[in-house]
């Protein structure tokens, strides 16, 4: 006789269990379990993590869910029901059930829905909190029997079990006795279960704290939520056998159920959606047609090199079966262009693709900038393409909504992330539950170093004030030890800043989903597990700098009538390079830091390539090559090459290896590697594994010898590759992001008034930044005009004599007040403070806001002293309601 746990909550049942999935599996293995279930409440966040960890530890994963089901007998009440997947069909039904509860049934799944999802599932009553058990406790035996019969009808008599539990709770013995009786009468099998909310008996206190944190309660609150015993832990099989020694068949049924629940989740399969082409053309043909059209638009006279590169890239894309992927990206980028949404020039290795360039997915010519397609897609190493797109941060959601409508809302979702209890959050949350006041919590939080990623154990070692607090009293030690147990647990869900998945199948066939924002669902699995499931992930990134460029361009056009096409500006603008050489890079993407300013001042960039190189070099490690790069640029040190044959590869960087692509080109030139092989070499050498290094050295040296190079030179060049493998930066990414930096620098150099107005607008809400930007604006001899109740807008606006201060940037003037002011002055300008008070609603503007507006100078245009205006507030008829 033995036992298997079938009713287990992990920490993904947010703030109701202290058991992380990792610790749960580890604990199960330590206690000798050969199988264990995961049955989180209404969600399946941890399913794939649990599944993989179980298999890794030779434990059979039993995949389940505890779902809230609406009662057919008690109005607006829901009760839990434990469901376990018996096979793949059952698992898919669990995905659908969890998705339904999280998107369409917030109060619990309607009972009648169960019959649609019952196939492949085993159902178990949840113990004393279940509807059957509650009816039996209150003497409503017939109602309990009716529910049992319905569940037997839905799931089948052999697939519905009544749970018997013993957590030493009041009434539990009574329930067990009545369950036993009704089970005999209705031929319903019993199964022994223990509801697990923590792993060890001594974790009960930490669990109580967790519930207090969830509900915003204190431990001393008499009526706070708690589990009424310390028996909700992962008991060993021996303990369960002792508890249920009189019900051996109930114990045996836990084994029987476990043996029935065998699910294999298919990982690493790809579910690429198909793009709906015109006239149902094959995706490959449609893509080729678009590319040829785009090639003629991008290049007035394409060369043979262009045609050969395009043909090669298309052959690789087609052989990898990624044509639909490129069409999907092309389509939503087209949508963005047609709707005036500025897009970034590219990001990551995708800028190395000519196909991406002629489809207007990227705006960097890969041939002109010597970018390699193999750094993006390697025909010798099949992997999903990864095209990340930058949009202005305030318009990104428009594109995501378009994609959701295009492919169907059940085929597109944003990606969930989990906010966890980091060190400071954990100790503050526990401190609040212990009853500490706000001041005490602040003091306690300050005792933990603010270093990124610090944990409580490291904080204890590093912080003497924290150790002093812990040693002060047993209560303080208990607080710290409790926080240690809760640290790292998921606290809430959030939406990934960029990630979106698009699926060929409806998502609920593959993953569980939940309600998201703006009519777009949210996945329940986090990013790493979605990729393993085989879903196409794309990053739609909101970039503040693109919003800034968009604001500046719009302002220029509005004020001057001149439309600046930022994507066709000259890359040799003298004013731009003079500005960069002076280090005047406030507000310029990637080039703003003090260290970068100093480098630019020494470097004196004179060409776009210099910006690309400094962007790639300004990182820990490669930075040591910056002085050499600068000296060689200015001719104070001679440019040297490891071999003359490498001059065409390294000439742009004065003989210094800066980019990963250069490493690939060196391997190709000297050792005859294909660029695909060279990319594999780059990846392999970066791992620094001795056996890999030795194997690749032999590969490289033999190739170099075949090409006629000397053995010593071949080894020297290989050593150079090994040295720079970790230093090398992705040139495609450096070129694309340097383009954004250059565009901003160009606007700052050529349209300083509009640039500074846009920069100030982007900083609204950050008083420190606004002060910094105002200082620089004045240093450029640009006047900052005071706020005006009649002429200031939400943004900082360009006027003939300078930049008008924004009303939104005035502290304590909220959105409602701004809306009221802008609406009221549409019909006519305000004549004076009296007129303002008469026409403005007191619901939108209170006395404090009015005083702030006076103090800021917003009424100075009426030529009244501010003190007089403040004194007259109470005298304005109509202002009294404001006061």
pLDDT tens digits for 534-548?
888 889 999 999 999
Predicted confidence at residue 867, as pLDDT, reads: 86
Cα 883 from Cα 880, distance rounded (Å): 5
Predicted confidence at residue 880, as pLDDT, reads: 45
Greatest mean pLDDT range, 691-700, 794-803, 810-819: 794-803
Cα 406 from Cα 868, distance rounded (Å): 60
- Which whole-number Å values give the CA distances from 157 to 121, 161, 273, 373, in the listed order? 12, 8, 40, 60
Two tokens at 648? 């065409």
Residues 6+ apart with CB under 8 A from 835: none
- Which tens digits make up the pLDDT trace of 483-498? 999 999 999 999 998 9
- Which whole-number Å values give the CA distances from 818 to 388, 681, 804, 869, in the listed order? 36, 59, 16, 20
Give the chain's length. Answer: 883
Render 538-570 in DSSP notation, one character per residue: EEEEEEHHHHHHHHHHHHHHHHH-----GGG--
Predicted confidence at residue 723, as pLDDT, reads: 84
- Which tens digits make up the pLDDT trace of 638-682? 999 999 999 999 999 999 999 999 999 999 999 999 998 888 888
Cα 313 from Cα 353, distance rounded (Å): 8
- Is residue 879 very low, low, confident or very high in pLDDT (cuts 50, 70, 90)? very low
Predicted confidence at residue 40, as pLDDT, reads: 98
- Which tens digits make up the pLDDT trace of 568-580? 999 999 999 999 9
Helix H or strand E encompassing 514: strand 513-517
Give the residue carrying structure tokens 């029935």: 260
Predicted confidence at residue 824, as pLDDT, reads: 86
Tell me: pLDDT of 874 over 70.
no
Chain centroid to Cα 546, Å, comes to 19
Q: Between these two residues, 248 and 272, which has the higher pLDDT value?
A: 248
Residues paired with 517 in a beta bridge:
520
- Which tens digits make up the pLDDT trace of 828-868? 898 888 888 888 877 777 788 888 888 888 888 888 888 88
- Which whole-number Å values give the CA distances from 639 to 609, 621, 658, 712, 731, in the listed order? 16, 21, 14, 22, 21
The interaxial angle of helices 594-603 and 626-633, nearest 10 deg, is 30
Predicted confidence at residue 365, as pLDDT, reads: 96
Predicted confidence at residue 272, as pLDDT, reads: 83
> So where are the chain's domains?
21-199+234-260, 278-417+495-545, 553-738, 810-883
- Round the average pLDDT of the chain to a whole number and report it: 92
- Which tens digits make up the pLDDT trace of 374-407? 999 988 877 777 888 999 999 999 999 999 999 9
Give the residue carrying structure tokens 């607006």: 76
Predicted confidence at residue 878, as pLDDT, reads: 43
Predicted confidence at residue 882, as pLDDT, reads: 44
Helix/strand/coil for 386: coil
Average pLDDT over residues 122-148: 95
Predicted confidence at residue 840, as pLDDT, reads: 82
- Is residue 883 very low, low, confident or very high in pLDDT (cuts 50, 70, 90)? very low
Q: What is the DSSP letter of 862?
A: G
Average pLDDT over residues 770-782: 92
Specify burial of residue 609 (Cβ count, 10 A radius: 0-12, 13-18, 19+). middle
Helix/strand/coil for 630: helix
Two tokens at 417? 């992330």
The sign of the CA dihedral 686, 690, 693, 695 is negative
Residues 6+ apart with CB under 8 A from 751: 552, 556, 564
Tell me: pLDDT of 812 over 50.
yes
Helix/strand/coil for 843: coil
Predicted confidence at residue 684, as pLDDT, reads: 83
Residues 6+ apart with CB under 8 A from 419: 490, 491, 492, 493, 494
CB 651 within 8 A of CB 657: no
Q: Which CATH class name applies to 21-199+234-260?
A: alpha beta
Two tokens at 194? 């223990």
Average pLDDT over residues 342-354: 93
Q: How many helices (H) and strands (E) does the chain have?
A: 39, 15
Residues paired with 744 in a beta bridge:
none
Percent share of the chain, pLDDT over 90? 78
Q: Between these two residues, 685 and 398, which has the higher pLDDT value?
A: 398
Predicted confidence at residue 881, as pLDDT, reads: 44
CB 449 within 8 A of CB 467: no
């Amino acid at each position: 006789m033995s036992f298997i746990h079938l009713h287990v909550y992990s920490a993904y049942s947010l703030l109701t269990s202290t058991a992380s999935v990792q610790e749960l599996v580890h604990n199960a293995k330590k206690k000798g379990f050969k199988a264990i279930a995961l049955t989180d409440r209404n969600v399946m966040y941890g399913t794939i993590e649990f599944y993989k960890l179980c298999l890794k530890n030779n434990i059979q994963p039993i995949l389940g869910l505890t779902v809230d089901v609406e009662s057919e007998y008690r109005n607006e009440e829901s009760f839990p029901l434990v469901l376990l997947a018996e096979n793949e069909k059952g698992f898919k039904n669990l995905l659908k059930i969890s998705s339904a509860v999280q998107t369409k049934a917030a109060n619990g799944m309607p009972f009648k829905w169960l019959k649609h999802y019952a196939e492949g599932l085993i159902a178990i009553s949840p113990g004393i909190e279940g509807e059957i058990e509650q009816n039996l406790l209150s003497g409503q035996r017939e109602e309990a029997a009716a529910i049992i019969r319905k569940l037997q009808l839905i799931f089948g008599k052999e697939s519905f079990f009544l749970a018997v539990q013993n957590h030493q709770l009041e009434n539990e013995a009574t329930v067990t006795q009545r369950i036993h009786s009704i089970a005999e009468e209705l031929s319903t099998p019993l199964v022994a279960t223990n509801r697990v909310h923590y792993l060890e008996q001594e974790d009960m206190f930490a669990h109580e704290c967790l519930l207090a944190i969830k509900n915003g309660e204190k431990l001393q609150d008499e009526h706070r939520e708690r589990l009424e015993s310390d028996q909700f832990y992962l008991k060993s099989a021996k303990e369960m056998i002792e508890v249920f020694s009189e019900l051996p068949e109930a114990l045996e049924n836990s084994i029987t159920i476990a043996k029935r629940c065998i699910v294999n989740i298919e990982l690493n399969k790809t579910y690429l959606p198909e793009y709906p082409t015109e006239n149902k053309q094959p995706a490959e043909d449609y893509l080729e047609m678009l590319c040829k059209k785009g090639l003629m638009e991008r290049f007035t006279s394409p060369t043979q090199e262009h045609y050969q590169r395009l043909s090669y890239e298309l052959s690789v894309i087609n052989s990898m079966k990624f044509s639909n992927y490129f069409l999907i990206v092309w389509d939503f980028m087209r949508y963005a262009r047609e709707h005036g949404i500025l897009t970034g020039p590219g990001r990551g290795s995708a800028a190395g693709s000519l196909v991406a360039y002629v489809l207007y997915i990227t705006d960097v010519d890969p041939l002109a900038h010597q970018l390699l397609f193999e750094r993006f897609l390697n025909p010798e190493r099949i992997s999903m393409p990864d095209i990340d797109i930058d949009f202005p941060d305030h318009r990104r959601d428009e594109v995501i909504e378009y994609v959701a409508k295009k492919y169907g809302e059940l085929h597109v979702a944003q990606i969930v992330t989990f906010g966890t209890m980091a060190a400071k959050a954990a100790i503050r949350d526990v401190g609040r539950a212990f009853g500490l006041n706000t001041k005490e919590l602040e003091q306690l939080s300050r005792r933990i170093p603010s270093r990124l990623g610090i944990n409580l154990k490291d904080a204890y070692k590093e912080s003497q004030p924290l150790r002093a607090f812990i040693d002060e009293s047993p209560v303080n030690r208990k607080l710290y030890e409790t926080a240690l147990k809760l640290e790292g647990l998921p606290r809430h869900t959030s939406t990934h800043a960029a990630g979106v998945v698009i699926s060929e199948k409806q998502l609920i066939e593959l993953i569980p989903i939940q309600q998201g924002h703006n009519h777009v669902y949210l996945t329940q699995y986090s990013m790493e597990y979605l990729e393993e499931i085989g879903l196409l992930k794309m990053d739609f990134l909101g970039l503040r700098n693109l919003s800034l460029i968009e604001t500046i361009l719009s302002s220029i056009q509005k004020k001057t009538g001149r439309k600046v096409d930022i994507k066709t500006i000259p890359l040799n603008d003298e004013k731009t390079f003079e500005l960069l050489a002076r280090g005047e890079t406030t507000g310029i993407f990637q080039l703003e830091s003090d260290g970068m300013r100093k480098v630019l001042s020494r470097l004196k960039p004179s060409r776009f390539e210099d910006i690309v190189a400094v962007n790639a070099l300004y990182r820990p490690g490669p930075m040591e090559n910056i002085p050499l790069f600068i000296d060689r640029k200015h001719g104070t040190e001679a440019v040297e090459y490891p071999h003359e044959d490498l001059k065409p590869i390294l000439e742009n960087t004065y003989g210094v290896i800066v980019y990963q692509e250069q490493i690939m080109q060196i391997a190709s030139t000297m050792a005859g590697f294909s660029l695909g092989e060279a990319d594999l070499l780059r990846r392999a050498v970066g791992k620094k594994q001795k056996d890999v290094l030795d194997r690749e050295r032999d590969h490289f040296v033999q190739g170099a010898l075949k090409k006629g190079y000397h053995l010593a030179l071949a080894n020297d060049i290989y050593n150079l590759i090994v040295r720079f493998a970790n230093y090398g930066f992705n040139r495609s990414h450096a070129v694309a992001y340097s383009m954004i930096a250059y565009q901003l620098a160009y606007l700052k150099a050529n349209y300083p008034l509009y640039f500074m107005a846009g920069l100030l607008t982007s900083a609204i809400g950050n008083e420190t930044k606004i002060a910094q930007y105002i200082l620089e604006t004045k240093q450029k001899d640009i006047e900052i005009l005071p706020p005006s109740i009649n002429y200031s807008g939400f943004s900082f606006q360009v006027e003939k004599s300078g930049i008008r201060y924004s009303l939104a940037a005035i502290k304590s003037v909220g959105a409602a007040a701004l809306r009221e002011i802008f609406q009221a002055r549409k019909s006519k300008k305000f004549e004076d403070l009296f007129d303002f008070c008469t026409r403005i609603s007191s619901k939108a503007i209170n006395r404090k806001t009015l005083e702030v507006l006076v103090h800021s100078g917003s009424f100075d245009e009426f030529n009244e002293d501010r003190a007089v205006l403040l004194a007259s507030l109470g005298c304005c008829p109509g202002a009294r309601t404001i006061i």
